Amino acid sequence: MSDWFTIEQIDADTYAISEYKHWEETHCYLLCGTDKAILIDTGLGVANIREVVDSLTVLPVMAVATHAHWDHIGGHRYFESIAVHEAEKDWISGWFPIPLSVVKSNLMRETCDFPSGFSIDDYEIFQGVPQRILYDGDHLDLGNRQLLVIHTPGHSPGHCCFYEPERKYLYSGDLIYQGCLDAFYPSTDPQKFWQSVKKVQKLDITRIMPGHHQLNIPVALIDRIEKGFSKLATSGKLEQGNDIFDFGDFQIHI
């Protein structure tokens, strides 16, 4: 099994599978129930994440995307069952909005000790047919665990967070993390990003599971990010093309 991934146990049946060796430091999350398991995001796709998952559970696994950007769906090819929000079903099964050349440039942006056997020349953006289409308010049943699908557009049209009401975990994808929050691509929307932050702000959350960088982040970060967006909106700067705004442990790029 590749040493590319780092495995951290969150609780008895929840794991973070991380790519700390790459500058994006992408996190994926394996949630095990009594009947099935869900893998939230599959990372860059430069190493076989399925081998890691199989070392942790024998349950049938569905790969669920917070959103269909290349760094979150790279390992989807290792799974027979995948799910994505309705707004991005075409991204994953027909037309990806970012050219492969741009994706490769991002992948190689910083020096990285990639796993043995990886070749950037052979890298492709995942394309496949989702077995399930997700909608806001859907529930994903793992047996003794329920995940609520929360549509949180802004970073991308079909971006979703996933919330566990019993454990009060929020799997926040690229909506909430310590680092640069991106809303400058043509397919992003700073205003919707702000509204999505306000949407999850209403939830009773004890732990955030971010999509990138620092794994253990304070729940209070949600409020501070919302205040950052609010400040930009009040000053008339919450429009694309206004640069990167620094708020300490997070930035907003619009």
Q: How far is CA 67 from CA 118, 170, 250, in A?
A: 24, 15, 20
Q: Is the per-residue pLDDT at 1 higher than 70?
A: no
Residue 8's DSSP bridge partners are 16
Tell me if the pTM is above 0.95: yes
Task: Please tell me the predicted confidence (pLDDT) of residue 254.
Answer: 95
Q: Which two tokens stand for residue 13?
A: 């049946």
| 19 found inside a domain | yes
* Domain that includes residue 122, residue range: 6-177+192-220
Is 90 exceeded by the pLDDT of residue 101? yes
- What percent of the residues of the chain are helix, what percent strand, and what percent coil, each to the nearest 5? 25, 25, 50
Q: To the nearest whole percent, how much of the chain has pLDDT over 70?
A: 100
Domain-embedded: residue 75: yes
Say if residues 157 and 187 touch (Cβ distance below 8 Å): yes
Task: Report the percentage of the chain scoring pLDDT > 90.
Answer: 94
pLDDT digits (tens, 9 = 90+) for 11-42: 999 999 999 999 999 999 999 999 999 999 99
Would you say residue 80 lies in a domain?
yes
Q: Examine residue 53 and state whether it is found in any structural domain, yes or no.
A: yes
Q: Are strands 82-85 and 61-64 parallel, antiparallel or unpaired?
A: parallel
Helix locations, the chain, DSSP H: 49-56, 70-73, 89-93, 100-107, 190-201, 221-234
246 assigned to some structural domain: no
What are the pLDDT digits (tens) for 132-178? 999 999 999 999 999 999 999 999 999 999 999 999 999 999 999 99
Q: What is the pLDDT of residues 66-85, one digit of tens each?
A: 999 999 999 999 999 999 99
pLDDT digits (tens, 9 = 90+) for 106-130: 999 999 999 998 999 999 999 999 9
19 neighbors 44 (Cβ within 8 angstroms): yes
Q: Is residue 93 a part of any domain in this protein?
A: yes
Q: What is the CATH number of the domain that holds 30?
A: 3.60.15.10
pLDDT (mean) for 207-213: 98
Q: How many domains does the chain have?
A: 1
> Has residue 130 been placed in a domain?
yes
In a domain, 249, yes or no: no
180 pLDDT more than 80: yes
Average pLDDT score over the chain: 96
For residue 242, pLDDT over 90 is answered with no
